[in-house]
Amino acid sequence: MSCAMKSLVEDNDRYLKSFQLFLERSSEHKCMQDFIHGILPDILASVGEGKANLNVMGVGSGAGEIDLEMFSQLHLKHPAVTVDNQVVEPSAQQLHLYKVLVSQKPNLDYIKFTWNKMTATEFEKHWRENHLTKKMDFIHMIQMLYYVKDPGATVTFYQSLLDRNGKLLVILVSDESGWGKLWRTFRTQLCNTEISQCVTTGDIKAYLDSKTVSYQSYKLPSQMDITECFTEGDQRGELLLDFLTEVLDFSSTAPPELKRGVLDLLKTPDCSKEVDGRVIFNNTLEVLVVDPLQ
């Protein structure tokens, strides 16, 4: 990454603003909810057979909306079970929003929440240093492996925490999405590997295959309207461009040839399609459900 360009995550306020706009403009949460209500219940039915208490962990849980959706399905499958839930989330602002959400939701008495204001890497260090041996029945890592130094090693560590019938759920962008094409083309210019990785499920599947780890995969078609990105000076377009490139103020700090290259690529069929005059980006996600270490 050029030294004039800074990573978007260095400015937490702008990151959260751009992320919020991304959620408004994309079908990301909807495609996750479709998965949670359609496919996840059968996966959850197989965890923690016969247990009265389940150990669950959310790594990078954000403000908790998706976590609570998953808990509603878990509760339907295991109505008599209590849950110990470890929340691992580095953002104080997101943790606060999660706690507010929990306080407003009825019928969560069966869940005991433990709040860990830490990154996935800090939590791993904390776990190892304290020689913790608790086993997990269900761990989810949704859209967060971009923010660890070594995504493969992180998956292996959290997989090692699974109990016999446990499952590790990973959601990332698919290598067939527009993100995959964008990152394959501009990885060296856009990725500050000290802060974030341009990682797709293709990378994680290759890693798991190399370790002969068993997993199931599910594609989640999703899209995002990025039309404003092509209007010079449009504030929302600039926020979306920051989110797409993970570069702070990309429009004003990127070298002109890089900016032109990114905008040209975003318009190609590899990344987007045109629908009724709007530019619709391919935001397809993929879910990997990883089995315990044998």
Q: Which of 268, 121, 103 is nearest to 195 (CA)?
A: 121
Please give the structure tokens belonging to residue 275.
């629908």
- The amino acid occupying position 4 is A
Which helix (H) or strand (E) segment holds residue 279: the answer is strand 278-282
Collect all residues with Cβ–Cβ distance below 8 Å to 244 and sequence separation of at least 6: 179, 182, 226, 229, 262, 266, 281
Helix (H, G, I), strand (E, B) or coil at 139: strand
Please give the structure tokens belonging to residue 220.
């989640």
Helix (H, G, I), strand (E, B) or coil at 74: helix
129 marked as part of a ligand binding site: no
The owner of tokens 């590899």 is 270
24 marked as part of a ligand binding site: no
Annotated binding site for substrate: 28, 283
Annotated binding site: 28, 283
